[in-house]
Amino acid sequence: MPDVVDLIMQDHREVERLFDELKNNPEKRPLLTPVLSAVLTAHSRAEEDSVYPVARDEAGEQEEIQHSQEEHVEAETLLAKLIATDPTSSEYEQVLDKLIDGVTTTSRKRSPPFCPGCAGSWRTRAASSSARPSPPAAPGTWAGFPARPPRRNWWRRR
């Protein structure tokens, strides 16, 4: 199972893929812009919940955390503007370029994450708290499915 660092790196790759799609396929913008917003917002929350506390507690990275939080606010502001902008307009292109520049610069600075000494702590904390937990299964079930499958051809009346 991937740990929080692996998930964050996967998010970086997914965001880069979405940026490429948005730049190279303008006809997909109405559908992909909300997807980009959801991925970036979830990614920011994951960093704020799982990475920043470790960086603060384990390495005392207060300044870096403050700077990262400011970058998240800036990215979310640009995302809101991007969503509100007509995808066929030149303004959309300008806002998208600003967002791409800000996000890719930030992810390059933090790839690998900005607190390399914390990676072991992230992995330990993620293992104990699960970065993306699965929903609990109900008693008498396996992963939410009945423990015993229904009888064959249950839909046929005899």
Q: Nearest 5°: phi and psi at 145? A: -100, 155
pLDDT single digits (tens) 21-76: 999 999 999 999 999 999 998 888 888 887 777 777 776 777 877 888 888 889 89
Helices (H), 25-158: 29-46, 52-59, 62-84, 90-109, 119-129
pLDDT single digits (tens) 88-107: 999 999 999 999 998 887 65
Model pTM score: 0.67
CA distance 82 to 25: 16
Amino acid letter at 46? A
Q: Which two tokens stand for residue 78?
A: 């640009």
Q: Which two tokens stand for residue 36?
A: 């980009």
Q: Nearest 5°: phi and psi at 36? A: -60, -45
